[in-house]
Chains A and B, each alone.
Chain A
Amino acid sequence: MDFFSNLALGFGIALTIKNLSFCFLGVLIGTLIGVLPGIGPVATISLLLPTTFGMEPVTSIIMLCGVYYGAMYGGSTTSILVNIPGEAASVVTCLDGYQMARKGRAGPALGISAFGSFIGGTLSIIGLMLLSPLLARMALKFGPPEFFALMLLGLAMVTYLCRGPVLKGLVMALAGLAISCVGQDQISGTTRFTLDSITLMDGMGIVPVAMGLFGIAEVLTNLEQIVKQDILAERVTGIFPTLKDWSDSMWPIIRGSFIGFFVSILPGAGTVIPTFMAYTVEKRISKHPEKFGTGAIEGVAAPETANNAAAAGSMVTLLSLGLPSSVGMAILLGAFIIHGIQPGPLLIAKHPDLFWGTIASMYVGNVMLLVLNLPLIGLWIKILKIPYNLLFPLIVLFCFLGAYSLNNNIYDVLVMIIFGVFGYLMRKYEYEGAPFLLALVLGPMLENAFRQSLIYGDPFIFFNRPITAVLICVSLFLLISPLFKTFSQKRKTIEKVLEEGE
């Protein structure tokens, strides 16, 4: 009963005219910056923060949270339309989303990601509300060895990300891991592979690399073959997902919500890893895995749901322990603090109005986002009608600006261009970008956890702990099994099917 009275209190706060309008403003700005690559919620919230000094704390927090989860809605748009991941969390969406757009199904792809985001967002708020303190304590059980095992499992997902030969995917993953070593190593402070560049001291940024590998490489590939006026403006069939789309993506959306929420609670997992996991799981259990990567709607629904669920999931440790699990959360923590509110174990007891008000506003905000985003789909699809010789300079400009705005550092743009060329060449030679990027994201965490674990002084630390041992065995199995399969008959038939499919 207590719970319902709290929720009533929350809605009482969230549904005032003032809070509703600021919630709307927040999600609107969030959607906008989600669409623009490079400018993420982090920069925007810190930009908006000074303007909220005069507001009531709860109003300000409602708005800033709106920016944060609103950005997750917008992020898929550019991935689907032009193959530019607006942020790392929508890299996976490129794989099938962009293929759908090329087949004239950009509408359903955008539609399913809006609905998926809504469902994922709403389900995970329920989780956040009911399970926060309990889950936060459980997440603490994850020490360095458990983390290493989790990252290894993440890496094993590579074998499901590639369409072509697994060996090529593994080579790309190794290259990604190697690139992730660039910069100051966080364990011993040694600077590696930087050629004395201080831009590289913090390593290769994931977003510039992703924009290069997907966006710029795509542009270069298309540029080579422009003969007709347009590449993308195939007849656009339907704006909304069909009934079949719905039945195909219902379970992926539900699974995506759970994966997104629970994985993102683990400190450091952020919103990127859950999207890769959701995609992998769908491909693994799908009856027709060969369709993934050629425009399967499940491949859009699952990761897009997962990243919205993860947006709420990553708030669990912030709200119940005061510990931000990602950069995005750190900035939100700053916002709380500047308004005189310390998120942490005492938050719910000390500021019930703020806690429940914010939670209630998130339900409202998700409804707003859905209403806001559905009509926008029609507008986005029009973008594809722009002739390619004008669309591609716009894509390049957006990538340029986005890469620069990340850190106000022009060398990030250079990194993007270099990886654009690299990505283009890799396509020519039939290597895929996704395993590379996944490895780049996982690399630093994998290495840190590995070396931190060994500092404890026991080389068998990975097998002494139950969680770790299980995770490692599963990932080793996943990594090794396809290597043997390559020589078997089964693999050949799959490749045959693939060739016929193309």
Chain B
Amino acid sequence: MRRREITSSLFWMFIGLILTIWSLTYPLGSLAQPGSGFLPLGLGILLLIFSAVLLMRALRQTAPTEEKVRMLPARWVNLALTVIVLVVAVFLFEKVGYLLIFFAIALVLPLLAGQITFRRSLIFAVLSAVGVYVIFVWLLKQPLPTGFLER
């Protein structure tokens, strides 16, 4: 419990520090005419103060209930792969087109969640791609990129 609190308050302190320094690169202005760095600087300083209070409270905590926190959840590989699949999909989306990308997402993600056969997931992927086409492109006429399948 306690370690978690310390880590997160240190994280916010770090963010506060970056924000403070970064906002100093923008014009600060005066109280009569605040510039674009005025509010971010204030936010950065407040964030520093608040995270310091959080840190102090975490340090002062006598932690009898020091439970074991596993920093990496059991299925972190699947989690990370899900995120990676999505990010890759983002970068290929406009080149490859929506149909293939959505097909690929719908094929891979159920497999990552587990407890499903490849065949069922294939059927699911085909259905999802067709469903997206029917609802979004055919009915709602959303302009989705067609990629290299373009006529």
Contacts and interface: CB of A to CB of B under 8 A. Distances in A.
A–B direct contact (CB < 8 Å): yes
Interface of A: 33, 36, 39, 44, 47, 167-168, 170-171, 174-175, 177-178, 181, 185, 187-188, 190, 192-193, 220, 223-226, 229, 388-390, 392-394, 396-397, 400-401, 404-405, 408, 410-411, 413-414, 417, 420-421, 428-431, 447, 450-451, 454-455, 457, 459
A429 B4 contact: yes
Interface in B99-129: 102, 105-106, 109-110, 112-116, 124, 128
A431 B144 CA distance: 36
A400 B75 contact: no
A393 B106 contact: yes
Contacts of A168: 54
Size category, B interface: 35 or more
A410 B54 contact: no
A414 B50 contact: no
7 contacts: A174-B46, A177-B39, A178-B43, A224-B73, A400-B89, A410-B94, A429-B7
Nearest to B71: A428
Given A224-B74, A389-B115, 12 more contacts: A174-B50, A178-B44, A190-B27, A223-B82, A396-B105, A397-B102, A404-B93, A417-B86, A447-B39, A454-B33, A455-B33, A459-B31
A114 B108 CA distance: 36
A57 to B, nearest CB: 24
Given A190-B27, A454-B31, A396 B7 contact: no
Given A171-B47, A174-B43, A226-B113, A188 B124 contact: no
B98 to A, nearest CB: 8
Given A192-B36, A397-B105, A39 B43 contact: no
Nearest to B74: A224
A351 B26 CA distance: 51
A116 B56 CA distance: 45
Contacts of B5: 429
B113 A171 contact: no
Contacts, number: 154
Contacts of B141: 47
Contacts of A178: 15, 19, 40, 43-44, 47
Given A188-B27, A229-B115, A171 B40 contact: no
B53 interface: yes
Contact of B34 (A177, A410, A451): A451
Contacts of A33: 140
Contacts of B115: 226, 229, 389
Given A178-B43, A389-B116, A459 B32 contact: yes
A93 B124 CA distance: 30
A414 B87 CA distance: 7
Contact of A390 (B31, B33, B54, B124): B124
A392 B113 contact: yes
B13 to A, nearest CB: 10
Q: Which 4 A-B pairs have the closest CB atoms?
A: A389-B113, A393-B109, A190-B36, A429-B8
Query: Chain B at the A interface: mostly helix, strand, loop or mixed?
Result: helix
A116 B32 CA distance: 46
Contact of B12 (A171, A177, A193): A171
B36 A223 contact: no
B59 to A, nearest CB: 15
Nearest to B75: A224
A226 B90 contact: no
Nearest to B48: A174
A188 B43 contact: no
Contacts of B39: 177, 181, 447, 450
A167 B5 CA distance: 12
Q: Is the interface of A mostly helix, strand, loop or mixed?
A: helix
Contact of A397 (B113, B128, B144): B128
Nearest to B129: A397
Contacts of B64: none
B62 interface: no
Given A396-B86, A417-B90, A429-B7, A223 B78 contact: yes
Given A47-B141, A192-B26, A167 B54 contact: yes
A193 B90 contact: no
A187 B93 CA distance: 35
Interface string B46-72: 110011011001000000000000000
A454 B34 contact: yes
Given A429-B4, A454-B31, A400 B86 contact: yes
Given A188-B27, A388-B113, A431 B8 contact: yes
Contact of B140 (A39, A188, A431): A39
B149 interface: no
Contacts of B113: 223, 226, 388-389, 392-393
B79 interface: yes
B132 interface: yes
Contacts of B37: 192
A217 to B, nearest CB: 11
A193 B87 contact: no
A441 to B, nearest CB: 16
A477 B19 CA distance: 27
B25 to A, nearest CB: 9
Contacts of A174: 43, 46-47, 50
Nearest to A424: B79
A193 B86 CA distance: 25
A223 B75 contact: yes
A431 B75 CA distance: 22
A133 B37 CA distance: 40
A168 B128 CA distance: 40
Contacts of A417: 83, 86-87, 90
A226 B114 CA distance: 9
B95 to A, nearest CB: 10
A408 B143 contact: yes
